[in-house]
Amino acid sequence: MTERPPGTEQRFGPFGSASQRLAYVARDVALAPADQKLSVFLDRAKTVGELVRDGFLNPAETEDKFWDVARAHRLTGEPGSPEEIAIAAVIERATSLLLEPDDFPPPPSGPEDYYGEASLQPSLEIHHQKFAPVALDDVTIHADPAWLISRLIPARGLACIVGPPKSGKSFFTSDMLCSVARGVPYAGRETLQGPIIYLTGEGVTGFKRRLVAMRRHLQIEGTGVPFYMIENVPDLGSDETDLEILLRDLEQFIADRQMQAPRAIVLDTLARCMGSGDENAAKDMGRFVDRCGAIERRFACTVVVVHHMGKNADRGGRGSNALNGAADVTMLVEKFAGYSKVRIDEMKDGPEGQEWRFRLLPFDLSATSDNLGATSENGTCVVELLSEPGEAQPSATKKPKPPVGVAGDLLKVIRRAIEDMGETNVGSFAVPNSVRTVSRANLKNYCTTMAWQADAEANTFRAMLSKTLSQLRAKDLINFDSEWVWLT
């Protein structure tokens, strides 16, 4: 028998089960920065290998656990890849009963140190080139599933659920993603089963009632469905961001529970996640989008953002168009008499125009619990699907899509300026008397307030403003003269 390495008594001591001891491996790898996960994995393999040979750990259970950890953190690459072969060699060494401690080198500074001679053993690169070119013939498609919900939501990326207040968008989102957590089809579409983490910052008490009603309505209480709620949302829009705290806390939660990474993380609502940032400012919205991308990359999941619709449904979600350009799919939820309709408004790699309907059925929590009195506070709703997604018929009078990017952002600035500062009967022969218009001076002030081209030099700003106004006029969205700007 060999002596245990210093400190392993606390982590892998005889008072804990094998699964508890191995849980520390998953936790340590989960908490390590992305560029250090492999090194931590290799180091823990060495320590655990000694415990296997000392009789503290079962080799078969240890092997399964190491494979789970490696796959959960995407250390294995594609099937048959050099990465997978190298990880297999690591796990084989860690679970072999024939090796002695001397067969393991000191903790590695890199994979080549772990294996010995790099020319004779498979190797793993810890530091990858950030901008490495790949030849056309060498481009490959990952074997990972493409869809979280078939042809509705991708397995990775950014999804936006947009709707006005009281449209049922949060009910819809939680019900749809609960199907993913349960591993059952949603509206006739296959799902990729896995955990869901739902962060909400609006109406938390009411949202809790909805979740309790949903689990009772679906008869899944006590079945361990991996749907998790967080009663807070992170600041992802300002300089004082909560991004690193969010990533750390989620990784700690995943490690403590020894669970797979989430399939989707929901942020409800975008406005609550902006902190002191301004959703109308392209810079702040771009920062929010970038941080959603960091979440997606860390957990290889889909980030779902629930967002309020603007006053005009044709304009989509409130705020900067930077969100529209980044989203992989945008779903619009609209309220009608007796039902709500969902429409795939935009999708990068799938069919747009799919529509389906649902309605909210009243659900009395007091009727399913002896601990609740029959009061209006115990009333909530559950979702009932009325149809499955189908291709919408193209309209002969379909309106053109609103502009996006710089032009789209300026159009929102113009609308806000006219809404707040618009005037009529301004004495210009070009401006119709009944049309509200805004002066160029006030428009420039609103451009500053809403951070449109905030980083541009004065000359660049004037040139960009003139060019973009002309683009919007060419699309028959606005008109202007030397002093005034108005909507057409």
CATH number of domain containing 422: 1.10.10
Q: Quick one: 413 and 387 in the same domain?
A: no
* Residue 290 · residue 329 · CB < 8 Å: no
Q: Quick one: 63 and 182 in the same domain?
A: no
Tell me which residue of 432, 369, 361, 402 sits closest to 168, measured CA to CA: 361
Does residue 321 form part of some domain? yes
* Residue 328 · residue 158 · CB < 8 Å: yes
**Which whole number is the average pLDDT over 449-474?**
88
pTM, full prediction: 0.63
- Can you give the residue range of the structural domain that contains 469? 405-487
What pLDDT score does 347 carry? 92
What pLDDT score does 72 carry? 78
Which pLDDT band holds residue 101 (cuts at 50, 70, 90)? very low
Can you tell me which residue has the tokens 């449904």?
Answer: 313
What pLDDT score does 207 carry? 93
Q: Last residue of a domain, which of 335, 367, 391? A: 391
Which CATH number is 238's domain given? 3.40.50.300
Tell me which residue of 102, 30, 19, 105 sits closest to 73, measured CA to CA: 30
Q: Last residue of a domain, which of 336, 361, 391? A: 391
Which pLDDT band holds residue 121 (cuts at 50, 70, 90)? very low
Q: Quick one: 377 and 265 in the same domain?
A: yes
Which has more pLDDT, 87 or 128?
A: 87
* Residue 418 · residue 436 · CB < 8 Å: yes
**Which whole number is the average pLDDT over 201-226?**
93
For 16-32, the pLDDT digits (tens) are 445 556 677 777 787 77
* Residue 101 · residue 50 · CB < 8 Å: yes
Q: Last residue of a domain, which of 349, 367, 391? A: 391
Does residue 416 form part of some domain? yes
Which pLDDT band holds residue 112 (cuts at 50, 70, 90)? very low
Position 34 pLDDT exceeds 90: no
Average pLDDT along the chain: 82
Does residue 173 form part of some domain? yes
Position 128 pLDDT exceeds 60: no
Position 150 pLDDT exceeds 60: yes
What pLDDT score does 427 carry? 81
Does residue 97 form part of some domain? yes
Q: Quick one: 206 and 295 in the same domain?
A: yes
Query: How many percent of the chain have pLDDT more than 70?
Result: 82
Q: Quick one: 102 and 240 in the same domain?
A: no
What pLDDT score does 1 carry? 38
Q: How far is CA 325 from the centre of its chain?
A: 15
Does residue 437 form part of some domain? yes
Q: Quick one: 241 and 350 in the same domain?
A: yes
Distance from C-alpha of 259 to C-alpha of 140, rounded to nearest angstrom: 29
Which range is least confidently modeled, 278-287, 352-361, 396-405, 468-477? 396-405
Q: Quick one: 343 and 478 in the same domain?
A: no
Q: Quick one: 162 and 79 in the same domain?
A: no
Which range is least confidently modeled, 167-181, 303-317, 428-442? 303-317
Does residue 124 form part of some domain? no
Does residue 398 form part of some domain? no
What pLDDT score does 73 carry? 78
Which has more pLDDT, 389 or 431?
A: 389
* Integer angstrom CA distances of residue 141 from 78, 133, 146, 150, 354: 10, 16, 10, 18, 26
Distance from C-alpha of 108 to C-alpha of 110, rounded to nearest angstrom: 5
Q: Quick one: 169 and 267 in the same domain?
A: yes
Q: Quick one: 266 and 362 in the same domain?
A: yes
What pLDDT score does 410 carry? 92
Distance from C-alpha of 225 to C-alpha of 328, rounded to nearest angstrom: 27
Position 12 pLDDT exceeds 70: no
Which pLDDT band holds residue 291 (cuts at 50, 70, 90)? very high
Q: Quick one: 338 and 269 in the same domain?
A: yes
Q: Quick one: 157 and 271 in the same domain?
A: yes
Distance from C-alpha of 479 to C-alpha of 488, rounded to nearest angstrom: 6
* Number of compact structural domains in the chain: 3
Does residue 134 form part of some domain? no
What pLDDT score does 340 carry? 95
